[in-house]
Amino acid sequence: MQIKKIAGQIMGQLEAFEGSKAAMDTTNLLIVRGRSRQRIQPEELKSTISQILKDLGTRELDMFSDETADIFTLIDEQIRSQVDIHGESDVYGIYRLKESFENMNCHAEYGMGLLNDIAVFIILWKDKSGVGPLFVELVVSYLEE
């Protein structure tokens, strides 16, 4: 399956494949979490994400565009079709994610790319103290209306 291949490539590139776990695995959506062995500096997190998306051949999206918000809405619907989530959908909650990590004393960056009909969302975060691993969360999703 293409989404698993893409996820495997990203986790391999980040040296986060070993010990990674799928948080959700459906035919159209894969969410994977892991810890990278790489020692990426906080100021390099954004460029690392951009390089990964470029290496995949994706078109990197502006995180604050209507197109990205529409994609997050579709991904949210895919998740809600599998998991009972109470409360209203809040597609803009993803934008508060970085602030939440920073409030927990972490550096965080995220990015999204589009490869034909597949969306790739990557978030990287690590403790500001410099101690501990680089955490990776990855969402790879077929976009279907």
> Which pLDDT tens digits describe the chain residue by residue (145 residues)?
699 999 999 999 999 988 899 999 999 999 999 999 999 999 999 999 999 999 999 999 999 899 999 999 899 888 888 887 767 766 677 778 888 999 999 999 999 999 999 999 999 999 998 888 999 999 999 997 5
- The three-point CA angle 127-23-90 to 5° equals 80
Residue 73 near residue 91, CB atoms below 8 Å? yes
Single out the residue of 97, 133, 110, 116 nearest to residue 6, CA to CA.
Answer: 116
Name the residue range of residue 67's domain. 1-144
E-strand ranges in 45-133 read 59-61, 106-115, 118-127
**Overall domain count for the chain:** 1
